[in-house]
Amino acid sequence: MRHVKISDSAEQSFQLTREVVPHFYNPLHFHNKIELTYIVQSRGSAFIGDYIGQFLEDDMFFLGSKLPHDFKNSPDFFKNNEKLKAEAIVLHFKEDFLGQNFFLLPEMKTINNFLESTRKGIKVKGKTKSKIKEILFEIQNQSQVKQITQIIEILEILATSNEIEHLSTTLPSKKFNYSDAEKLDKVLTYAIGHFKEKISLEAIANVASMNPSSFCRYFKLRTNRSFSEFILELRLENACNLLINSNFTIEQIALECGFESSSYFYRSFKKLKKETPSSFQKRIIGGRK
Intervals of the chain under pLDDT 50: 1-3
**Contacts for 90 with CB less than 8 Å, ≥ 6 apart:** 15, 16, 17, 18, 19, 35, 36, 37, 38
> What pLDDT score does 174 carry?
63
> What pLDDT score does 183 carry?
85
- Using CB atoms within 10 Å of the CB of residue 55, give its burial: 0 to 12 exposed, 13 to 18 middle, 19+ buried: buried
Round to whole Å and give the CA distance between 245 and 284: 11
- Using CB atoms within 10 Å of the CB of residue 125, give its burial: 0 to 12 exposed, 13 to 18 middle, 19+ buried: middle
Q: pLDDT digit string (tens) for 10-68?
A: 567 899 999 999 999 888 888 889 999 999 999 988 999 889 988 999 999 999 998 98
> What pLDDT score does 173 carry?
65
Count of positions (residues) in the chain: 289
